[in-house]
Amino acid sequence: MQRGSDRLSVHKDDEMKHELQGLIRSGHPTRAEEWHDPEPAADDDPDVTLRPIPARGTTGEAEAVRFEFARRLGRTSFPADREELLDVLEERHTPDGLIALAEELPADRTFHTVQEVVSALGLRPAS
C-alpha cells in the first residue's frame, strides 16, 4: 500500500534504476560526456582524499594499516595463512601497496584477526 510519502513516482524510480545499471555493473563512469565524470585527485590534494587519516594525537601508521586490512578482508577471511589472505586481497582488487605489505607476512603462521596481521608486520599501535 502506497502512503504517498515517496518523493518519486514508481515510474521515475524504475527509470533511475535503469539509468544506473551500467555504472553499477561496469564499476566505472559510463557517460559519454566527460564533464559529467568526477575529477580525479590532484597531486596537491590533502591525504584525506587518498586514504584514511590517522587519529589526532597518534602516529597512526598501525591504525591506518589495520583499518585498510579490515576494510578489505572483513571477518569471513579468518583464520587464514599468508597465501589465503593474499588470494582474498587480490580477489577484492586491493591496492598494490597493501598487497606488498601482506607479502611480507610470515608464511608459516595462521592469523585469526586483523590485529595479528598488523602485529606480524611489526607495526604497533601508538600508546
**This prediction's pTM:** 0.53
**pLDDT at residue 57, as a whole number:** 46
**pLDDT at residue 59 in the model:** 59
Residue 49's pLDDT band, with cuts at 50, 70 and 90, is very low
d(Cα 70, Cα 65) in Å, to the nearest integer? 8
Q: What's the maximum distance between 2 C-alpha atoms anywhere in the chain?
A: 61
- Residue scoring higher pLDDT (117 or 62): 117
Q: Give pLDDT, residue 62.
A: 78
Distance between CA atoms of residues 91 and 80, nearest Å: 15
The rounded distance, in Å, linking the Cα atoms of 91 and 121 is: 21
pLDDT on residue 88:
92
As a whole number, the mean pLDDT across the chain is 76
Render pLDDT for 53-96 as a digit per residue (tens, 0 to 9).
554 445 577 788 888 888 888 888 889 999 999 999 999 888 88
- What mean pLDDT do residues 30-39 have? 64
- Choose among 90, 84, 124: nearest CA to 105: 84
pLDDT confidence of residue 40:
66
